[in-house]
Structure 1
């Protein structure tokens, strides 16, 4: 999944000219624009013209007159070339027009005072990141941090860029003035799951992020004792009711809820994607409530008006989260589930849904909110039969005689230790290839370089292009063994692999994210694939890759209805989840 925020754009409302034009701030935009235009016409040689042009540009931008605003910003820069505010805003206008190369060139070549350098670097880095030019983005953000290190948002993006691009070591040579601990704590909650399997450190990173980003609300909206409804009102809050991993996992749970006992609300911040899955999700809700256009307070008040008994946050600390709404405590019981598989230390959350494998009893104290283990595996799944295309090694450009190791996790989950383990497995299994996702060009180049440095030919790493969900699922069926990542395991992808009968070797650690695949393997009854040390992980993978009988036995264990009667049993899962909801529901 992406970081919660982009590096915040700088949008300035203007430079003060009130002394020259008293009362300007109280005018409607159209009148203020006319006033600036009149002032500029009447004052052809004033030294304040650069500021008037800038303010005029800001007003025009605010009214949607982007082309005219860009002319105003250029006039301001002609008069004062180091007016970095105009450079920033002109670049943002060019970016909005799709003129990305012009925006990057403008920010690169700008005349700027020292105080403005980081703002221009950060905008370049943000735009380069959005284009997946990770190598250039990393360099630009590193330069910004060397100029001024105390920029938590920039640290978060810089560190996560290095994860996504497989630029190792993660923190390079460090940042002068910042300790290794400070870099970790400011690295952001998503990156934390791939940084450490220490749930206590993950919690500290989440607390630091929330303290910086999400202010407390002035009041609690829901009545503390709860409501006395005959049917439990469950609200699901998400920005991912669409063709997203969350949507694929949650849809059948929504459909399976027992309507005689539960009433299901969906509070949706999801942009319309026109997909069949989105239509299916919306159809599964008793009440589909769009809240994407609402402020955090307004969204919270809408939830409160519906008297929701249990509000399920499906985002956690990921993109699209409505943490500000949760801080208003719009429901008496608030739960985080599935979107972020680590601590979400927001004081207004009461529970985190998990299971006995992902959060063992001796680790529960490290989590916030309080863990709520359900019976069986924590992960919802859509058990419907999928209509899949026919794929083969030939159609995917793969040799028939290779032992195909695969990992379709995002690159940021790949760590140096895990990659070194993969190289050891390839050394021991000379017929094996490693099949990865074509995530980003920088990462692919770096992984190939790391492979060659480990004595593995670059062509033994092959990359699968992005494709539709059915094609991706069918692809998993032609691999021989799934190699999991650590400390951030596969979740949805691991379930998909097991569904397609693909054995998995995983390394189970201490944190939820590093125990997800172990939970899935436990559910389907193939615990032989669970290792607790990196050495055992390598040994298990080598044994499966070099011993045909052992590999065949692993395939047999997943054959038939192994997945369907365990992870794919959506009716049974819904019943277990509803039992958990009944335990935590409050009644006056």
Structure 2
């Protein structure tokens, strides 16, 4: 406590809590803690004692003294059992101590019909979502939205929870006064890609999300006319330089950049996971710059100090993105690539790297930023192949004599319509099974229930547990046909399937996300795997299963993967050609 506060403390007896307000102005949290404790000790049983304990808990929380904050909030609730803000904060302190089950119990017990109920429901839903208890989280957020529909961030999580848990129909009018079209504009970046095939709606939804999450920066950092370096300085910005699909795709590009013409910086806010792929990626940069501990402004200043010519954002609108840093425009030319397959309508971004299949020229005006087609396939890949384990259908729980249809994409990409198409394929192919990845308990139980409702024996759905990368790749050799999802196609997973010789069937639509797999198939000359509607998709799957020659031709086309998709050297040269075109602002 400061000398002034120490001098004032003895006179706190029988004084209202308001006597502290002038003393607290500008006080450090440590001093505020001491002063609240002094007032409580001097005024036992005072009507405002509960408020003093509450404020004490807040100050202790700021100091990360969570056990003491817990004690303070418990005292509040002893004195005022129905004070929901105290229950809300008590749950937060318990969560901060790793006691998540106790936090949920506190919030469950505090769910009273009072205004703070919405906040309690939202916190409960958030924690349940983090615990991957999606069905329970969805119910909590649905109750919150029934009380207050005007919560865009809650709508975002609620819709995506229903997608991740495969709760269908996706929307039955649960939110008062809201249509699905209206809710779509409040959807999250990943959720919207699996919700609609309309690139204009995707762009508008992303813009609304950015308006809530990434306000403009107060100033621009980079010079408008750019730099004139002897070598073009490329900065890659990502939170996924670790064991993540992004790194498995991009590692070889970082390694193969022509150092006579390019200098490569990696601005990294990725976790240190100790993985081999992280070590490889970090070693590939000329300069690896950790920025995870920096604020958005400090991260942007660090990039500006390096005079980066072209900053390439590899997150887009995915978890870990440094959107605030991008808004400072730390580089004169800024592009987004690969991490997010849709519009990233941030005014400070100049380019969206793509190809002419995923974004046809006639639809380019529906995207932001401006599409920049590469001279060929948009997707980077790594030509290195890990040593693969020997697997068998028996070991993986598959029937030896079945035609194995598989999809190893996240379950939120599976729509009700697509699953209905899959069930129709199983009806027409009695000897077939559908092999899916185990995603969540909620989605698995719902998919089995949906299969039974469609008249398909749930035993024909086989679920594969998560596996190490080499094991995951080897699994593709046991299947006969990969069934892609739409409107959000497989990307990395589709490339992996084709690499392992597994033919793929996709349904291409209008949006980037719905055309990724088609771009890969086109590169292999495997247009037979591209369909334009669900009826054709179902019919083509049956043809692949019943016409051995057609399936053999598709397997033969997959052998072109190394030359057409996995050519890391050729891809890097095409990417560098694009960088030369946009090196200076206004190109």
Q: TM-score higher than 0.5 here?
A: yes
Task: Give, in whole Å, the separation in 2 of the partners of 1:368 and 1:27.
Answer: 47
Aligned to 1:583: 581
Which is worse superposed, 437-446 or 82-91?
Answer: 82-91
Equivalent positions of 1:29-44 (< 5 A) are 29-44=29-44
Once the two structures are superposed, residues 136-191 of structure 1 have per-residue CA deviations (whole angstroms, 9 ceiling, x without a partner) of 11111000000111000100000000000110111233311223322110011211
Aligned to 2:145: 145
Task: Give, in whole Å, the separation in 1 of the partners of 2:103 and 2:471.
Answer: 37
Residue 21 of structure 1 and its aligned partner are, at CA, apart by 4.7
Once the two structures are superposed, residues 92-133 of structure 1 have per-residue CA deviations (whole angstroms, 9 ceiling, x without a partner) of 111122222211111011164621011000011011111111
Over 3 Å off, 4+ runs: 16-21
Once the two structures are superposed, residues 462-482 of structure 1 have per-residue CA deviations (whole angstroms, 9 ceiling, x without a partner) of 100011111101101111000
- Contact 2:242 2:278 survives alignment (8 Å): yes
Structure 1: unaligned runs, 5 residues or longer: 1-15
- Contact 1:82 1:113 survives alignment (8 Å): no
Aligned to 2:125: 125
Aligned to 1:4: none
Task: Give, in whole Å, the separation in 2 of the partners of 1:388 and 1:206.
Answer: 39
Residue 554 of structure 1 and its aligned partner are, at CA, apart by 1.7
Task: Give, in whole Å, the separation in 2 of the partners of 1:91 and 1:242.
Answer: 32
Which is worse superposed, 311-320 or 44-53?
Answer: 44-53
Query: What is the count of residue pairs matched by the alignment?
Result: 571
Aligned to 2:25: 25
Residue 215 of structure 1 and its aligned partner are, at CA, apart by 0.6
Residue 352 of structure 1 and its aligned partner are, at CA, apart by 0.1
The DSSP-based 3-state class of the residue aligned with 1:299 is helix
Once the two structures are superposed, residues 463-503 of structure 1 have per-residue CA deviations (whole angstroms, 9 ceiling, x without a partner) of 00011111101101111000000000000000000000000
Equivalent positions of 1:59-70 (< 5 A) are 59-70=59-70
Residue 305 of structure 1 and its aligned partner are, at CA, apart by 0.8
Task: Give, in whole Å, the separation in 1 of the partners of 2:73 and 2:22.
Answer: 23
Residue 227 of structure 1 and its aligned partner are, at CA, apart by 0.2
- Contact 1:232 1:309 survives alignment (8 Å): yes
Task: Give, in whole Å, the separation in 1 of the partners of 2:108 and 2:575.
Answer: 53
Once the two structures are superposed, residues 249-308 of structure 1 have per-residue CA deviations (whole angstroms, 9 ceiling, x without a partner) of 111100110001000011111111111110111000111111111111111111111100
Task: Give, in whole Å, the separation in 1 of the partners of 2:17 and 2:424.
Answer: 67
Report the aligned-residue RMSD: 1.3
Equivalent positions of 1:294-333 (< 5 A) are 294-333=294-333
Residue 45 of structure 1 and its aligned partner are, at CA, apart by 2.1
Task: Give, in whole Å, the separation in 1 of the partners of 2:581 and 2:356.
Answer: 17
Distance 1:387 1:111, change over 3 A: closer
Which is worse superposed, 37-46 or 307-316?
Answer: 37-46
The DSSP-based 3-state class of the residue aligned with 1:582 is helix
Which is worse superposed, 547-556 or 125-134?
Answer: 547-556
Q: Which has the higher contact order (CA 8 A, sep 6+)?
A: 1
Aligned to 2:428: 428
Task: Give, in whole Å, the separation in 1 of the partners of 2:196 and 2:267.
Answer: 32
Report whether the alignment pairs 1:372 with 2:341. Answer: no
Aligned to 1:204: 204
Once the two structures are superposed, residues 390-410 of structure 1 have per-residue CA deviations (whole angstroms, 9 ceiling, x without a partner) of 111121121110100000000
Task: Give, in whole Å, the separation in 1 of the partners of 2:348 and 2:361.
Answer: 23
Task: Give, in whole Å, the separation in 2 of the partners of 1:111 and 1:143.
Answer: 11
Structure 2: unaligned runs, 5 residues or longer: 1-15
Residue 587 of structure 1 and its aligned partner are, at CA, apart by 7.2
